[in-house]
Each structure stands twice: as structure tokens, then as C-alpha cells.
């Protein structure tokens, strides 16, 4: 359900900020551009904007992206949205947040009196209340049953900003103190030894602590993956879907820079970003390798003490931070990604040494991408030498963090 913000009741709307939000929404909805990239560019438009102005544009835009279907139904508009439609949707957002609509020509055609009534009426239907496509609502109910109600509601809440402290550079207390000097307050999270949660959202990337590699931004659920893998100094660990390397960096820091992390990905540009981040983190035991042919995998068969497969997935568990993903996801993509997960498990699991371990992880809450994939793998020829040690489902409704799944598999010793 949409949270109403009493602190916004006396808010006065500023024309340039509203127009910037409308421009951003046009790019996201009509030009199909990625929300985070659009906002990054939008927020650079006017150097005079302060932190509050930027926060208004970002939060308003993300809110309207998150509730697109519901707001469009209330406003009685259909895609593609022209500017008039976008202003009608903005009016829905403002009215539901108790903000006075200014007397601007752009808002003339909006029936504000009917908005709350339509909101109450449409909120009785889950797919409209939670603002998701029909197919996704059907899939969620099919896979999760009654749990789907709670999970999709939790995935529509704004994500907290979580930091992962880099123990090679600083302690939790040192990072807290340093950020406090910059007027950024944080709190620790029980059960997450390197995590700090921001009390209020802030731009942490401009702080000295970030520039000096004292921390990375990484959700608490994502931090559990390296914990489950339990890397030790001196090991050879392979991260086969490393991307820009959030988990590789975490693994390397837990290894105290001793041993080797081989970070692999099919995208060279992501690995370039990982190298840059590693330098800032003071990490020098990561070697990056692009997967450009089957040779890259063959060279490492039987070489990993531990292997991480952070598999490509639907990303349903991280909808809170990527609300535009639900409008881009399609059922055909899910079928393809599940087939990819099968291929990756069968191919990359060969890298694990006899007696070694492997973690399979996704940022999805769907059993078909998670425990069902692992069970099917263990029955196939590729998985016959492995047994499940333990697995963990992190549900957003319980944890208040991203939805994740992770399974630790043990490979039997050589005979």
C-alpha cells in the first residue's frame, strides 16, 4: 500500500523540480530508458539544486515509476503517456501525499476530487494495489501462494541504504564516526558483522570515507552470500558471474588479501569497473578474466577451493531498488533466464575441486529460480558429486532487506 507522508503536507511545489520529474518520467516510460541512468543525468541539470531538491526529484520519480499502473488507472490515462498524462499522474501522486496542487495551466484538466475515491476502490484489487502486470501477479501467486501478498507489498517499499564496511581499511566504529562528522548517521544491524544502515538517505559517495575505500554500498542480504561461502585466507576462490564485483570485493576482504579471487564475467566493462573499485578498496588479490569462450572455463576445471555462482535471474527480489524492472520484465525472459541458470550450474560447477564448495545465489524470491534449480542440478549428471549442505531464503517481508536465495553445496572428496 502507498505510504502517505505527513511531512509533505505543507510542501510547496517548485516548477523547475516538477518539470524535471516529468521529463525524467517521459524518458523512463516512453523512451524505455533505465530509471537510475535517467535520474543520474537529470540531477546534473542544475548546479543550484541542493540536496532537498535532488531528493524531491529522485523520490517523486521513483514513486511514480513504482506505482505506474495504479496511478495511470486512477488518472484514467494509457501508455504512451503524453505530457498531459504525466501531469495527471503527478497530480495523483501529489494528492495521495496531501500536497496542495498549484494553480498552473498544466494541472487544469485534473479531477483531484475523485482521486482518493478511485484509490480506495482500485486498492481492493491486488494487481492494481501493488501496481504490477497481470502475468507477474499470476506468476507470484502460482509460485508463492498466500505468501505472495506479503512479499509483493514488501517489494513496493523504498529500500534502505546499507553500507558494507571494508575491514582492510576501517572498523565499523571508525566508519560510523567518520560519517557522523559528515552529518550522516548510521546504525548497526544485528547478525550482519560488516553492515551499517543509514538512518536517513544521503549521498555517501562524496564522503572521504567512501573515496578512501572504507566502505561500499551493498544490501544486507547480498552481504550474506560471502558469509555463507566462508572464504579463508590463502584459498583460490572463483566468482563466475562477478559483474562489477560487489561480492568479489567482500570475499577478498574476508580473505585479508591472501590467496586469490578469480572474478569472471562475460562483460569486460563490468570487470574494468571492478578493478577500479578494488584499487579504492586496497584489494590486490583479485584477478579478472573475461569469459569470451569455453576455454576460459576449461582452464579452471577442478581449480577452485570455493566457487560462487551469483546467477543471472529475474531480479524480483530487488524490485524495491529497481522499480522500473517490473515494467521491463517479460514472461519469455524468465523462461530464458531459467535455462541460462541450468547451463551455468552444469558448466561452471566443474571448476570446484574435489572436497571443495560452491554457493549458488540469486536475487529472486521465485522457487523455480532457486531451490527447484538446485534440486534439479543435484539429480543431473553434472551435480552427482555434490550434496546440499544448507540453503537460505531471505524474504523481504521478514528481513526488510532484498529478497535473496543462496545454497551451499559440498563436492565429495576424490576417491
Q: For residue 295, say if its preceding peptide bond is cis, omega within 30 degrees of 0.
A: no
The model's pLDDT over 339-385, given as tens digits with 9 standing for 90+, comes to: 999 999 999 999 999 999 999 999 999 999 999 999 999 999 999 99
CA distance 322 to 328: 11
Strands lying side by side in the sheet with 386-394 = 286-290, 260-265, 236-239, 304-310, 352-362, 404-411, 386-394
Q: What is the mean pLDDT of the chain?
A: 95
Average pLDDT over residues 279-295: 97
The model's pLDDT over 156-167, given as tens digits with 9 standing for 90+, comes to: 999 999 999 999
The model's pLDDT over 39-81, given as tens digits with 9 standing for 90+, comes to: 999 999 999 999 999 999 999 999 999 999 999 999 999 999 9
The pLDDT value recorded for residue 289 is 97
Grade residue 171 by pLDDT with cuts at 50, 70 and 90.
very high
Q: Is the pLDDT of residue 6 over 50?
A: no
The pLDDT value recorded for residue 299 is 96
- All domains in the chain, ordered by first residue: 6-131 (1.10.940), 162-217 (3.30.70.1170), 221-411 (3.40.50.150)
The pLDDT value recorded for residue 2 is 57
The model's pLDDT over 100-136, given as tens digits with 9 standing for 90+, comes to: 999 999 988 777 789 999 999 999 999 999 999 999 9
Nearest to 364 by CA among 354, 372, 356: 372
363 is annotated as an active-site residue? yes
Catalytic residue among 77, 363, 374, 406: 363
- Cα-flanking dihedrals φ and ψ of residue 244, to 5°? -85, 5
Q: Is the pLDDT of residue 7 over 60?
A: no
Grade residue 11 by pLDDT with cuts at 50, 70 and 90.
confident
Q: Is the pLDDT of residue 3 over 90?
A: no
Note the Cα 315 to chain centre separation in Å.
7
Amino acid at each position: 500500500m502507498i505510504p502517505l507522508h505527513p511531512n509533505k503536507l505543507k510542501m510547496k511545489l517548485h516548477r523547475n523540480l516538477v518539470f524535471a520529474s516529468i521529463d525524467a518520467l517521459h524518458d523512463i516510460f516512453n523512451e524505455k530508458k533505465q530509471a537510475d541512468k535517467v535520474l543520474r543525468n537529470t540531477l546534473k541539470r542544475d548546479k543550484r539544486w541542493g540536496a532537498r531538491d535532488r531528493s524531491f526529484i529522485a523520490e517523486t520519480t521513483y514513486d511514480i515509476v513504482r506505482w505506474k499502473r495504479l496511478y495511470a488507472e486512477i488518472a484514467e490515462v494509457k501508455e504512451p503517456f503524453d505530457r498531459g498524462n504525466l501531469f495527471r499522474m503527478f497530480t495523483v501522486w501529489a494528492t495521495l501525499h496531501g500536497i496542495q496542487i498549484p494553480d498552473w495551466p498544466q494541472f487544469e484538466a485534473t479531477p483531484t476530487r475523485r482521486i482518493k475515491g478511485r484509490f480506495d476502490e482500485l486498492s481492493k484489487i491486488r494487481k492494481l494495489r501493488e501496481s504490477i502486470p497481470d502475468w507477474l501477479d499470476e506468476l507470484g501467486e502460482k509460485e508463492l501462494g498466500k505468501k505472495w501478498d506479503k512479499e509483493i507489498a514488501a517489494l513496493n517499499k523504498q529500500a534502505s541504504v546499507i553500507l558494507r564496511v571494508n575491514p582492510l581499511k576501517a572498523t565499523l566504529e571508525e566508519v560510523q564516526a567518520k560519517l557522523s562528522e559528515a552529518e550522516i548517521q548510521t546504525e548497526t544491524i544485528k547478525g550482519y558483522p560488516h553492515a551499517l544502515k543509514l538512518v536517513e538517505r544521503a549521498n555517501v559517495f562524496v564522503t572521504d570515507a567512501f573515496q578512501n575505500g572504507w566502505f561500499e554500498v551493498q544490501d544486507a542480504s547480498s552481504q550474506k552470500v560471502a558469509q555463507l561461502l566462508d572464504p579463508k585466507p590463502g584459498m583460490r576462490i572463483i566468482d563466475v558471474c562477478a559483474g562489477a564485483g560487489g561480492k568479489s570485493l567482500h570475499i577478498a576482504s574476508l580473505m585479508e588479501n591472501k590467496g586469490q579471487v578469480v572474478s569472471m564475467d562475460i562483460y569486460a566493462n563490468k570487470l574494468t569497473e571492478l578493478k577500479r573499485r578494488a584499487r579504492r578498496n586496497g584489494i590486490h588479490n583479485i584477478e579478472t578474466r573475461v569469459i569470451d569462450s569455453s576455454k576460459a572455463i576449461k582452464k579452471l576445471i577442478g581449480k577452485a577451493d570455493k566457487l560462487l555462482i551469483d546467477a543471472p535471474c529475474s531480479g524480483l527480489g530487488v524490485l524495491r531498488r529497481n522499480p522500473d524492472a517490473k515494467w521491463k520484465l517479460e514472461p519469455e525472459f524468465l523462461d530464458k533466464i531459467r535455462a541460462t541458470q541450468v547451463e551455468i550450474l552444469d558448466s561452471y560447477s566443474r571448476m570446484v575441486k574435489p572436497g571443495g564448495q560452491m554457493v549458488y545465489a540469486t536475487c529472486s524470491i521465485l522457487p523455480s529460480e532457486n531451490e527447484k534449480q538446485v534440486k534439479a542440478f543435484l539429480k543431473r549428471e553434472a551435480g552427482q558429486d555434490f550434496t546440499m549442505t544448507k540453503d537460505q531464503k531471505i524474504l523481504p517481508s521478514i528481513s526488510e532487506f532484498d529478497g535473496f536465495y543462496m545454497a551451499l553445496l559440498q563436492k565429495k572428496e576424490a576417491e
